[in-house]
Chains A and B, each alone.
Chain A
């Protein structure tokens, strides 16, 4: 039985899975960051879906949460890109497999 909520949750899960897969498999740091953004947005989608089909849709809690989340994601993307740029300047690469200086 496919309800609208289930559909949203399905799409959200799919989106999260795609983001996770990208984050795990991509070798470019930027694409890893993109995967993380996708996972974040899957979570945002969940917030909106649970709010819209939840018991109290009149209160704007979900929207508010998502707006905050997007703002934080934007900031995080800015910080992440700045980090990647700094790492590139230092190591001349953005391949995460080669950035293993912290290994034990």
Chain B
């Protein structure tokens, strides 16, 4: 076994160790903490590249297992594995993390909790890499939970903002609902297969013997056990990856610092759910007759619905980061759809390209927010194209990639998903849902870019005393470091420093060109994940209706772009208070979408309301019923104790005291006899003598 496989654990261990060291260092050691985090990430990236090179040389599934805990006669085996999927994910996570770490140095420069931020980031990266290399569902779940924890910590990083604290709690609780399903799936899987190790010389739970046993085993509702377990695992994946109906936490998670949004809630953590489905694919997709498994059907439908639903909501959002958040949810739906209809390679290809262009968009948004001194409302931006040229160019690359404009990375990966969905043997509806979502994606991204980068700068228009006041009160307190306008002239839009723009440029290059590794003509990516060899063949475009579908999806994209440009870009938006063009046409639907289809409100009424009522009832019961019972018992015991105590005091103590007094008084009497005076002793002696004589005398007489 080669060196890199044996030492694969170093990749997650290094950032985790860096996090531990940073956690122990003092707050003032900014350079040390940033250096440690970036350095460890850099070494991890090198190791990941070595692992990728190893996989490129000979694609295989290699793993290291070792015994960890013994319980009963069983051993819990831990270990790590390396296959093409792991290698690709390792490189993606380490590369994106490294770039985002570097970006964060600039973005968080003014935050007093700089070291804490890097500690959490490094811990997050370590846990995420642990998820990727785990060869055991238990280890994966542990790392998964650490990822959830760091997500909580980073969303609530500015915990003095009530919204951030609430968003952190929401993210934690909603993902926990999904994790409950994942945990149940783990337990069921263990009870059926007796192991949670993925690959273990034929004994692992993803290998043929265990999977075919689970396919044969029927669960309730006409599901096979493998599909039922797959659905439970999908619950966890849906929670982490923000699928409908567990998507509500992801938009709120944008309360965290923007690099966090980029790293966790766009590029890596939300991809963990997609990755989990890809990892468990042999189990989830298993059927007896080779058709589509029931679990995959559910995944496809949920993915397609999520893609369209979130794209609709994104159309009507005002916050630059919220638009991207809903876009992320929509793209995650695409990935799930791709996994379900096209297999691991299709979904993961979109995951990888999306990781690059979405982190690019988020970092670009961060750069915009940084440049606009903490402003996040797209209505109040505008005209940034000339003032932030690098940010604009890179953002445009990311936006075109996300929209799926031909030749950009997103085009190839999204088109592949749509192509697979078109050929899906179960239903054609997911294809139409996906195509509609593609239209909306192009629409909302164009709307956002038109608002942010084109037209007149509306910040300058309303600059003045009023704005300065609002800025100071609302943003300096509210947005924490997002509003770090200190050191720059307030209200003056400026390009970000090089430490922020360089990562943007690197990511933009990836977002533009990465798609070429997975085109139909040269499906290198798909072949690599499948363990096959790819050959360059332009004739592939001609086969099985690829070109018509590409033409249609390009047409859809350009239709979306054109429609949005016609609405928003045709004439420059004059004022920040101007009504949204779409809202003028369709005020009703727009309002509903702007309020995010009232999902939060519905949850508030259906889940939180009853829960609160229940909590209140429990509180009442606790206060009066249980507390009353406890108080009664306590009163009884106190009464008995009081009786006992008085008995003790009155009878036993007094009796004892009296006895002691008697002894003491007796002793006192006796001490009177021993007066120390010789004559009194002698007197007793004399009296005794007289008594003796008299006794003898009288006894003689009688």
Q: A residues bordering B, Cβ < 8 Å? A: 20, 23-25, 32, 96-97, 99-104
Contact call B677/A24, Cβ cutoff below 8 A? no
Closest approach, in angstroms, between the C-beta of A78 and any C-beta of chain B? Answer: 19
- Does B678 make an interface contact (CB < 8 A)? yes
Nearest-neighbour CB distance to chain B for A39, whole angstroms, equals 10
Pick from B670, B671, B674, B677: contact of A96, CB below 8 A: B677
Contacts of B671 in A (CB 8 A): 103-104
Instruction: Please give, as numbers and ranges, the residues of chain A lying within 8 Å of B675 by CB-CB distance.
Output: 100, 103-104
The interface centre, meaning the residue of B675, B679, B683, B686 with most chain A CB atoms within 10 A of its CB, is B679
- Using Cβ atoms and an 8 Å threshold, which residues of chain B touch A96? 677-679
Decide if the interface of chain B is mainly helix, strand, loop or mixed: helix
Query: Are A97 and B673 closer than 8 Å at their CB atoms?
Result: no
Query: Among A20, A99, A104, which residue has its beta carbon within 8 angstroms of that of B678?
Result: A99
Given contacts A103-B671, A104-B670, whether A23 and B676 have CB atoms under 8 Å apart is: no
B679–A100 contact, CB under 8 A? Answer: no
**Is A99 a contact partner of B677 (Cβ separation < 8 A)?**
yes
Closest chain-A Cβ to B627's Cβ sits at a distance in Å of: 63
Cross-chain pairs A/B with CB under 8 angstroms, 7 sampled: A24-B682, A25-B679, A102-B676, A103-B671, A104-B670, A104-B673, A104-B674
Chain A residues with CB under 8 A of B674: 102-104
> A16 to chain B: closest CB distance in Å?
10
**B-chain residues with CB within 8 Å of residue A97 when the two chains form the complex:** 677, 679
Q: What 1/0 flags go to B654-693 for Cβ under 8 Å of A? A: 0000000000000000111111111100110010000000
B676 near A101 (CB under 8 angstroms)?
Answer: yes
Q: A24 and B676: CB pair below 8 A?
A: no
A33 to chain B: closest CB distance in Å? 11
In the bound complex, what is the Cα–Cα distance between A23 and B679 (angstroms)? 7
Q: Which residues of A contact B676 (CB under 8 A)?
A: 99-104
* Beta-carbon contact of A32 and B679 below 8 Å: yes
Looking at A32, A97, A104, the one whose CB has the most chain B CB atoms below 10 A away is A104
Q: How far is the CB of B691 from chain A (nearest CB, A)?
A: 14
**B302: shortest Cβ distance to chain A, in Å?**
101
User: In the bound complex, what is the Cα–Cα distance between A100 and B674 (angstroms)?
Assistant: 9
Q: Are A23 and B682 in contact (CB under 8 A)?
A: yes
Contact of A100 among B670, B673, B677 (CB under 8 A): B677
Question: Shortest distance in angstroms between B317's beta carbon and chain A's nearest beta carbon?
Answer: 103
Does B682 lie within 8 Å of A103, measured CB to CB? no
Which residues of chain B from 187 to 233 have a CB within 8 Å of any chain A CB? none
Contact of B686 among A20, A32, A101 (CB under 8 A): A20
Question: What is the CA–CA distance of A64 and B678 in the complex, to the nearest angstrom?
Answer: 32
Contact A24–B679 (Cβ < 8 Å): yes
Chain A positions within 8 Å of B683 at CB level: 24
A101 and B674 CA atoms in complex are apart in Å by 10
Which residues of the partner chain A approach B686 to less than 8 Å between Cβ atoms? 20, 24
- Considering only residues 374-419 of chain B, those with a C-beta below 8 Å from chain A are none
By beta carbon, the residue of chain B nearest A103 is B676
Given the complex of chains A and B, what is the CA–CA distance between A101 and B678 in angstroms?
11
Complex: A23 Cα to B678 Cα, angstroms: 10
Q: How far is the CA of A99 from the CA of B680 in the complex (A)?
A: 12
Q: Which residue on chain A has the smallest CB distance to residue B672?
A: A104
14 other contacts beyond A32-B679, A103-B677, A104-B674, with CB at 8 A cut-off? A25-B679, A32-B678, A96-B677, A99-B676, A99-B677, A99-B678, A100-B675, A100-B677, A102-B674, A103-B676, A104-B670, A104-B672, A104-B673, A104-B675
